[in-house]
Amino acid sequence: MNEIPPVVFVVDDEAAVCISLKRLLRSVGLEAQTYPSAQEFLRSERPDAPGCLVLDVRLPGLSGLDLQQELRAAKINLPVIFVTGHGDIPMSVRAMKAGAVEFLTKPFREQDLLEAIQRGIELSRITRQNNAEIRTLQRRYASLTPREREIFPRVTGGLLNKQIAAQLGASEKTIKVHRGQVMQKMKAESLAHLIQMAEKLRLSSN
């Protein structure tokens, strides 16, 4: 898989913080894009690349926590690292529960931030990879006939051809043919592989 360079998004109303962060990230070879408010971030065209969001909790208008909610609601899967001038426990608990990677209090240790960013990017990569794989599997699944889609979850559910034939009222031989078609169309190397695919597609055996 070819690597797309990751991007770190920074949302902080304090210009000095934005500029210094951008400089720091560049010094470790990371691309950073900064925004002075949550609204500006939401409005912006963002590159399709793995990345993470470094977000100040206290922002004019939409707060950092609000922005996190907005992203979740829009199903934008971007790992969030919160930074705040002062943070209290309830605030950090709320942020972490909502899926934040890290909650850092300014001034943070460089190492903590960079580690969190690294983790965020990694998470982002995995998510992107999973998403790409699922999209491929979905495409393959779409090519199955209705009969094959009936057989697919029964096979991965561990039923024998004979049992499937009895359930669907067809001959064991016909089921065997369909089963070969499913394996072939889904590009499954083995039954175990097909079962993995079924899990990723969240297919139910019944």
Partner 1 sequence: MQFLRDLSSPSPYMPHGYCFLWNRGLTSLHVTSDLLIALSYLSIPFTLIYFVRKRRDLPFHWMFVCFAMFILACATHAMEVWTVWHADYWLSGSVKAITAFASVLTAILLVKLVPHALALPSPAALRLEIAERRRAEDALNLAKMELELRVNERTAGLKRVNEDLLGEIERRKQLEQTLKNSEEQLRLAQEASGLGVWDWDLRDDRTVWSAQHFRMFGLEPSLRRFDKLSLVTLVHREDRSDVRLAMREALRPGGTFNAEYRIQRQDGQLRWVMSRGQTHCDSTGQPVRMIGVTLDVTERRQTAEELRRSEERFRLLIEGIADYAIFSLDPAGFVTSWNIGAERIKGYKAQEIIGQHFSCFYTDEDLRKGAPAMALRKAAAEGRFENEGWRLRRDGSRFRANAILTSLHDQQGELIGFAKVTRDLTENRRAEEAVQAAHAELARVARATTLGELTASIAHEINQPLAAIINNANASIRILAGSTPDMAEVRQAVTEIAEAGTRTGEIVSRVRGLLKKSAPERHPLDINQVIREVLALIPNELEKQHVSLEVELVPTPPRVLMDRVQLQQVLLNLIMNGIEAMNVTFDRPRVLMIRSDARDSELEVMVKDSGSGLDPRHLPHIFDMFFTTKKSGMGMGLPISRSIIEAHSGRLWANSDRAIQGAAFHFSLPAIA
Q: How far is the CB of 122 from partner 1 (least distance, A)?
A: 21
Question: Contact 161/175 with Cβ under 8 angstroms?
Answer: yes
Bridging pattern class, strands 7-11 and 51-56: parallel
Q: How far is the CB of 84 from partner 1 (least distance, A)?
A: 8
Residue 101 token pair:
């990677």
Q: Does 60 bind partner 1 (CB under 8 A)?
A: yes
> At 64, which amino acid appears?
G
Question: Contact 22/8 with Cβ under 8 angstroms?
Answer: no
Q: Does 163 bind partner 1 (CB under 8 A)?
A: no
Contacts to partner 1 from residues 170-199, by CB under 8 A: none
Q: Does 28 bind partner 1 (CB under 8 A)?
A: yes
Q: Does 23 bind partner 1 (CB under 8 A)?
A: yes
Q: How far is the CB of 4 from partner 1 (least distance, A)?
A: 24
Q: How far is the CB of 42 from partner 1 (least distance, A)?
A: 19
Q: Does 203 bind partner 1 (CB under 8 A)?
A: no
Binding residues with partner 1: total (CB under 8 A): 22
CA-to-CA distance for 24 and 150, rounded, in angstroms?
55
Select 105 or 196, whichever has its Cβ closest to partner 1: 105
Coil, helix or strand for 133?
helix
Select 118 or 127, whichever has its Cβ closest to partner 1: 118
Residues 6+ apart with CB under 8 A from 8: 25, 30, 31, 32, 33, 51, 52, 53, 54, 117, 121
CA-to-CA distance for 129 and 135, rounded, in angstroms?
10
What is the contact surface with partner 1 in residues (CB under 8 A)?
Answer: 14, 16-17, 19-21, 23-24, 26-28, 58, 60, 83-86, 105-108, 110
